[in-house]
Amino acid sequence: MDIYDISARRNAGEEQSLGDYRGQVLLIVNTASRCGFTPQYKGLQALQDRFGARGFSVLAFPCDQFAHQEPGSDEQIRDFCETTYHTTFPLFAKVDVNGPGAHPLFAWLKERKGGLLGSAIKWNFTKFLVGRDGSVLDRYPPTTSPESIAPRIETALAAE
């Protein structure tokens, strides 16, 4: 199985195959609206604006597993992201990233890039950079700003 065999429900309810992103560089992020890292939405949108036309996309997956920092409905989350941060990148439905109910995408990502203290995701805004070939290139902790990942995205976009 590879990343392109996985599908996820978009924020508006439709299923989307990650195969639709084949050949793109992706930054997959578990997000939350009431977190100290929530302002990173601005940096994520800046990456989308800067690199989107070159085959890059941020994929945001809201998660409420960390201190109940994403309590809203999918509709409330979408409204928050669009009105507060003017996001245009794909927003998916709320998922679990850890435990027995973890979404298959996050189980797959963690299997390929464990964290410093094990594979579990420790907090909101953990980021996974996926190359054009579907391989997981890097995993970044929540404290890594989106802007600091730009050079690595540039390198991944240049790779054929």
Which sequence positions are flagged as catalytic?
Answer: 35
Q: What is the largest CA-CA distance in the chain?
A: 40
What the block records as the tokens of 81 is 């992201």
Per the listing, tokens 């990148």 go with: 89
Angle between helices 146-158 and 40-51 (to 10 degrees): 20
What separation in angstroms does the CA of 141 have from each of 26, 84, 113, 115? 16, 23, 12, 8
CB atoms within 10 A of CB 40: 22
- Are 55 and 47 a contacting pair, CB within 8 Å? no
Distance, CA of 64 to CA of 89 (rounded, Å): 20
